Structure 1
Amino acid sequence: MAVTVKDLLGLPIMKNFKVIAGSKGLTKTITTTEILDFEFIREGYRERIFEGNSLVLSSLLFAKDQPELIFEAIKKLVYLNVHAFAYKPVFFNALPQEALDYAEKMSFPILEFGDDEFFEEIIFSIRGLVEKDHALGFIEPLLKEMVNRDFTKEEAEAARDQINPLLRPVVVALCVKVKGMDESQVMHVIRRSKPDERLASKTFVGKLNDRFIILLSSDELNTARYQAIFEDVMVAYGLAGNEFTIGIGHPRNLAERFELNIREAYWAEKVAEIENEDVKYYKDLGIYKLIVTHINSKRTEEYMRDYLAPIFDEDDKDADLLQTAIEYVLAKGDMIKAAERLYCHKNTIRYRIGKLQEKLDPNTNEKEFYQNLAAAIKVYLLLNMIRQQEEEK
């Protein structure tokens, strides 16, 4: 993850900046902001003050009586690995054409801004964005680790301190997938957010791929209080009014297995997507709780593939058996609801279920067959979702 020139243009203070040359370089990264003063153009003077990977701001005072110096300055900035240049049209309303042509050739963005933006405010805004990006880049791998393995007590305490040391004693985690929002948009939302100090002290909002990981904390377990804090977070991050799927973990004391907060919310959200539900609580996952703890095991996948093998390679005549099995399981074994989901008569479903049992598990009764089928189908659906999301990255 890195902040680009294009990202900077999304900052409120830079909303009126105009790109006047070098638009092909808007994907260049920015790690700091610097100022070009009137002494810069002197031969050998403080050349290395420019660290590179930067946006340089200028009023062009140094070229007030010598406009030809602008072209020389642009060339030197490119040489010093500066990634963009922004000027305030105080002394020049337009730059020399040769400077613009060179910037275009070198894909070096030149931006123009007005009288309402001050250097200090621009610098502080960019610094805040870069620092937030750095924090996100550090926290996301930690969140992934929390999903995938158990932490020691010391590791859990360190993770808490890194995520938000100010969290209140009782925490609940949520994993939120906003409909239509991809990974870069999630990043953009978090980067631009400015929650007030009161809200920031008792919450955390981070990114895990294309999902938001949200921690809500309070001094005691209070469902209504958590709901109010969640609504405040949605407003603060500009997410209110969106459609989303939410997975919610168990409320926990901070000292209890901190990584489980993230893990439970993450898997609850995935199951919510599979079952087409807006909200899913981890406590209601049923057999999924067992499956997710072994989802990366080869034996888990082998069980699923061995059990469903007779219908994976069906000819066209019976190709709908797998989909019937999926909808039957998602309907929790209710044939009438499965028929509604598949837009067909319940007797058709009854026939297909009979065929499924005949092919997959002929020596079991109806109840045993459903239990075995449900386990295999739920593994299949989870693995398919995980792989599909990995391919979309």
Structure 2
Amino acid sequence: MAITILEAMKLPTLKDFKLVAGYRGLDREIEGASILDYEYERSLSNKPIVTVFRRGDFVLSSLIYAKDDPSLILESVKGLVSDGVGALAVKNIYYDVLPDEVIEYANDMDFPIFMFDKKGSYYEDIVTEIYDKNKEKNSMSFKEAKIGILLKEELDKSSVKNMAKDFNISFKNNLFSICLKPKKYIEENNLSSIINTLNRDLEISHAAYRYHGAIFIVYTYEDRHREKKDIDFSKLVGLAMSSLFVNLNDYYVGVSNFHKNIDELNMALKEAMYAMRVASIEEQNKKYYYEIGVYKILMPSYSDSHMRSFYNETVGKIKQYDQKYNTELLDTSIAYIKSGGNIKETAKIINLHENTVRYRISKLKEIFGIKNSEFEFYEQLSLGIKLFMIYQNI
């Protein structure tokens, strides 16, 4: 996976580049950067223009070959487009503006063309920075794919252990994981920068990874923790989190259990992710996995067909009733479960009289076909609403 032109525009060496054509092509991917100056110089080769660039190149040029003949610019741009080049950036040594026919052609072909100042970035700096950014993105994308395997696949312990060592040869045997999900959207480039900074700050036996807009941090320790009966896990977590440069109030935070074998890395990652999701659902800043109760069962299996069927038999029926009779039983159900089945607290949450809440609860019991068992009613409603909250937040 390569960076897009839009991502490249945020690099320091490209920040002052001015887009003059092809704005609809900014989602093109660029594999690297190449320089065009003499390749199209007819006087050097005595032959027609022949394109020599790779698909996905970001081509840099001063247009020296066309300094005395502007018509060569359109001819060369057509060649670049034919080769599948990603974009062209022109240093304004010989041209401050490009011919109208070049701009028109580039717009028609959604081929981005930039102008940049001759006093600005050097070619070699641009080439190097694009190369480094692609290398970084490919490394992160590869690790992100492997995180996905650990989260989604059922792996034996040997496979998990081998993958852990592939991630970081310095990983120790004891571990826990933290999952951070930004409360507000963070662009991929900015998220990658945060992860890079985290990895620079973290000890060699710890590491941070990106996964679908979230950040996983894996903390590993020597086996001596196995023998320490008095380990205060919350203190260990507190020390780890206090050392992070990010403001944790800007994130939903999930913390896994403490695991005594690196071959349980997949379990730690899953636990941290589930805890983070519950923190998001309950709008709390931080959740430990051991605190999430029945969500331990619901989170791994919410997409299973039997879970969907149960959801349709509970919340699905409530939503159908609300739609048919223009009622608000679903909102009442959510408040009722959040308050732990307390009528008075439910009334406060939705700003209604307690008798109105009681009436709505009795209507819910009718919908469920449960009249004589408060426990069975609350159990089914609670599971249904928790599934609803998962589906709303995943």
Q: The TM-score by the shorter chain falls in which range?
A: 0.7 to 0.9
- Could you say which residue in structure 1 is the equivalent of 2:129? 125
CA distance in 2, matches of 1:362, 1:104: 65
CA distance in 1, matches of 2:156, 2:187: 30
**Matched residue type, 1:88:** K
TM-score by length of 2: 0.82
> Which of residues 327, 340, 347 in structure 2 aligns to 1:332?
340
Secondary structure of the corresponding residue to residue 151 of structure 2: helix
> Does the aligned pair in 1 maintain the 2:90–2:115 contact within 8 Å?
yes
Q: How many residues align?
A: 374
Are the structure 2 counterparts of residues 242 and 282 from structure 1 closer, same or farther at C-alpha, using a change threshold of 3 Å? closer
Name stretches of at least 5 consecutive residues in structure 2 with no aligned partner: 223-232
- Could you say which residue in structure 1 is the equivalent of 2:163? 159
Name stretches of at least 5 consecutive residues in structure 1 with no aligned partner: 235-239, 387-393
- Could you say which residue in structure 2 is the equivalent of 1:375? 383
Secondary structure of the corresponding residue to residue 35 of structure 1: strand
> Which of residues 102, 105, 111 in structure 2 aligns to 1:102?
105
> Does the aligned pair in 2 maintain the 1:174–1:215 contact within 8 Å?
yes
> Does the aligned pair in 2 maintain the 1:216–1:226 contact within 8 Å?
no
State the 1:155 CA deviation.
Answer: 2.6
State the 1:290 CA deviation.
Answer: 1.7
> Which of residues 78, 85, 88 in structure 1 aligns to 2:88?
85
Are the structure 2 counterparts of residues 104 and 372 from structure 1 closer, same or farther at C-alpha, using a change threshold of 3 Å? closer
**Matched residue type, 1:272:** A
> Does the aligned pair in 2 maintain the 1:164–1:204 contact within 8 Å?
no
> Does the aligned pair in 2 maintain the 1:308–1:376 contact within 8 Å?
yes
- Could you say which residue in structure 2 is the equivalent of 1:6? 6
> Which of residues 267, 272, 284 in structure 2 aligns to 1:277?
284
- Could you say which residue in structure 2 is the equivalent of 1:258? 265
CA distance in 2, matches of 1:254, 1:124: 41
Q: Deviations over 1:142-195 (max 9, x none)?
A: 3333333332123313432454444455443333332341xxx44232345542
Are the structure 2 counterparts of residues 106 and 325 from structure 1 closer, same or farther at C-alpha, using a change threshold of 3 Å? closer
CA distance in 2, matches of 1:175, 1:317: 42
- Could you say which residue in structure 1 is the equivalent of 2:304? 297
- Could you say which residue in structure 2 is the equivalent of 1:224? 238
- Could you say which residue in structure 2 is the equivalent of 1:319? 327
Are the structure 2 counterparts of residues 132 and 297 from structure 1 closer, same or farther at C-alpha, using a change threshold of 3 Å? same
- Could you say which residue in structure 2 is the equivalent of 1:187? 188
- Could you say which residue in structure 2 is the equivalent of 1:30? 30
State the 1:304 CA deviation.
Answer: 3.6
Q: Deviations over 1:297-339 (max 9, x none)?
A: 3223333433556644326558333322222112222333222
Are the structure 2 counterparts of residues 171 and 63 from structure 1 closer, same or farther at C-alpha, using a change threshold of 3 Å? farther
**Matched residue type, 1:121:** D
CA distance in 2, matches of 1:368, 1:241: 39
CA distance in 1, matches of 2:141, 2:125: 24
- Could you say which residue in structure 2 is the equivalent of 1:390? none
Cα RMSD after superposing both structures: 3.1
**Matched residue type, 1:255:** I
CA distance in 2, matches of 1:86, 1:159: 41
Are the structure 2 counterparts of residues 99 and 199 from structure 1 closer, same or farther at C-alpha, using a change threshold of 3 Å? same
Q: Deviations over 1:97-125 (max 9, x none)?
A: 44333323332211122323122221121
> Which of residues 192, 202, 210 in structure 2 aligns to 1:206?
210
> Does the aligned pair in 1 maintain the 2:148–2:211 contact within 8 Å?
no
Secondary structure of the corresponding residue to residue 262 of structure 2: coil
Are the structure 2 counterparts of residues 246 and 53 from structure 1 closer, same or farther at C-alpha, using a change threshold of 3 Å? same
Are the structure 2 counterparts of residues 68 and 363 from structure 1 closer, same or farther at C-alpha, using a change threshold of 3 Å? closer
> Does the aligned pair in 1 maintain the 2:192–2:210 contact within 8 Å?
no
CA distance in 2, matches of 1:325, 1:293: 24
State the 1:268 CA deviation.
Answer: 1.8
**Matched residue type, 1:294:** S
Secondary structure of the corresponding residue to residue 313 of structure 1: helix
> Does the aligned pair in 2 maintain the 1:41–1:73 contact within 8 Å?
no
State the 1:363 CA deviation.
Answer: 5.6
Mean Cα deviation higher: 78-87 or 362-371: 362-371
**Matched residue type, 1:189:** N
Are the structure 2 counterparts of residues 106 and 363 from structure 1 closer, same or farther at C-alpha, using a change threshold of 3 Å? closer
Mean Cα deviation higher: 93-102 or 28-37: 93-102
> Does the aligned pair in 1 maintain the 2:164–2:263 contact within 8 Å?
no
State the 1:126 CA deviation.
Answer: 0.9
Residue identity (%):
28
